[in-house]
Structure 1
Amino acid sequence: MALFPKPLLAVSTAAILASLAFFQPAAAFDDNQKKELGDFIKQYLMEHPEVLLDAQAALDKKQEEAKLVQANKAVADNKQTIFNANYDVTVGNPKGDVTVVEFFDYNCGYCRHALSDMDALLEKDKNIRFVLKEFPILGPDSVAASKISDAFRKLAPEKYAEFHHKLLGSDGRASEDSAIEVATALGVKEDALRAEMTKSPNSGSVKETYQLATDLGLTGTPSYIIGNEAISGAVGVDVITEKVNNVRACGKTTC
């Protein structure tokens, strides 16, 4: 009589037991059957631990796919807030054919690195619209710096790009004091900044950005929105360029 190879026999036995479990409620098994089933599953997993790795990989893939679906829906549902919020600043070509949105924090070291990525991207591609979305998540100093930044934007929007470069590119931790120092060096007085903060606080826009990030599944900075996709991390010029080119070619970041 032909014999099944041991792995095939194990799989076949597992399939039979699974079929029994499917067609019978758990209460239909007596204690001995339950113990036998449990012992078999334990033995099989001990002999074939790679099954657990395969299962984990499948779970990770399923979770990533679900996250992508959630992010795609969130992008579709929040296009105005993502791409055209009146409290964000646009650099590059304001009429560009593809928009890149960056969520950033002035105290994010990776955002400092990504600053040069943005510059290189805009230097190379004159048809990109780049939106800067403040997402102060790294403590009270970040929140304080964003308040000064928002007031500066309202008072001197034509100088915001320079302010952004100087504050994000500076050494040390961004704070209210360092943001004021940069702002005053660019010609906006501290009294004017504080008056603007009182008159028009940015708490509402920051709250909206926090909610937007939650909906998009973003948990850190920098993060990007390009086309239909939410992207986490300082992925670099080449990755962003590829996704921008794909949006131009097929309307999505992956063609």
Structure 2
Amino acid sequence: MKKLIPSSIRHYALAGASCLFLLGAGVAPSPATADTSFTPAQRAEIVSIMRNALKTDPSILSEAITALQTQATARKASSALDAVRRNHAQFGQSTTDVVLGNPQGKLEVVEFYDPRCPYCRKVLADLDTLVASEPDLKLVEKVIPVLGPNSVMDTQAILAASLQNAYVPFQKALMADAASPSTDRIRRVAKKVGLDADRLVTDMKSPKVTDMMRQNLDLARSIDLEGTPTFVFGDKEIIPGAASLDELKAALARLRKAG
């Protein structure tokens, strides 16, 4: 799972200063107020106080940075959930995906995954357990390539398998296969699960498969997805990374409670 490096890191020094103003005076003055409220000597004294405070207690800056990161994460999550609400039909009813569990289930969860992502592979068994344990769960799986050309090839193959109504068996077989990525590997896996391998390889480059992959990528970009797997619980919560089965169950319980 790729980790976010907030753009706010570039503003650590400014953030620390703002928080120090808040701590020292209760309210951070606007730039215009600062210019007219303090003499040059007073401003120099304030800077000196700030520098001394940071030298004697570096935790002040650390706490300011942590607060900024928390705020940035909250804003990002809120923006992503707004995008989910705006595009609800595409998230839950897209024809580009496979739906596991109950297609009419009221507990809707969307997973974005990359077929070559080791964390996505690891969570497959937990998702099967989750689906089996919750009869009202509608789990929508959206395959996207985020790890380079080999991921693109595997994504195309999985979407092409859906055109032969074999998304799930082919997906599981391909993601369990440890051989090096190649067209020959895809053909072998396709034959193993009873698919027309020649048709699958042809369909991989078809406009239909290209459009299916583009739709999934567009939705991933709409929530500023950082990596895979990423789980979207209704329009209430987004969990990035390889969540454990217990974490997934807890999020599902929160979704059920939210109604």
Give the equivalent residue in structure 1 for 2:15: none
The aligned residue for residue 29 of structure 1 is 39
* Alpha-carbon RMSD: 2.8
Instruction: After TM superposition, give the deviation of residue 12 of structure 1 in Å.
Output: 11
The corresponding residue for 1:89 is 98
Return 186-195 or 214-223, whichever deviates more.
Answer: 186-195
Aligned equivalents of 1:58 and 1:16: distance in 2?
A: 16
Task: Judge conservation of contact 2:159–2:167 (CA < 8 Å) in 1.
Answer: no
Residues 219-230 of structure 1: pairs in structure 2 closer than 5 A: 219-228=226-235, 229-230=237-238
Shift in CA distance, 82/11, structure 1 to aligned 2, threshold 3 Å: closer
Structure 1 unaligned residues grouped into runs of 5+ = 1-9
Stretches of structure 2 that go unaligned for 5 or more consecutive residues are 1-19
2:142 is paired with a residue of what secondary structure? strand
Report the counterpart of residue 15 of structure 1 in structure 2: 25
Give per-residue Cα distances to partners, 1:3-38, cap 9 Å, x unaligned. xxxxxxx999943997798745169633x4443332
Partner SS state of residue 136, structure 1 = coil
CA deviations on 1:121-146 (whole Å, 9 max, x unpaired) are 12222321111101111110110111
* CA deviation map 1:85-117 (0-9, x unaligned): 111111222222212211111110001111011
**1:241 and 2:255 correspond:** no
Alpha carbons 2:230, 2:239 under 8 Å: kept? yes
Question: What is residue 206 of structure 1 aligned with on the other side?
Answer: 213
Residue identity over aligned pairs, in percent, reads 28
Instruction: Note if 1:183 corresponds to 2:183.
Output: no
Q: Does 1:250 align with 2:258?
A: yes
Distance in 2 (CA, whole Å) between partners of 1:20 and 1:207 is: 45
Q: CA deviation at 1:210?
A: 2.2
Q: Distance in 2 between matches of 1:190 and 1:76?
A: 39
Alignment of 1:38-53 (within 5 A): 38-53=47-62
How far apart are 1:238 and its partner, in Å? Answer: 1.2
Tell me by how many angstroms 1:42 deviates: 0.6
Is residue 123 of structure 2 the alignment partner of residue 119 of structure 1? no
Number of matched pairs = 239
Q: Quick one: distance in 1 between partners of 2:127 and 2:200?
A: 27
Report the TM-score when normalising by structure 2.
0.82
Which residue of structure 2 lines up, in the alignment, with residue 54 of structure 1? 63
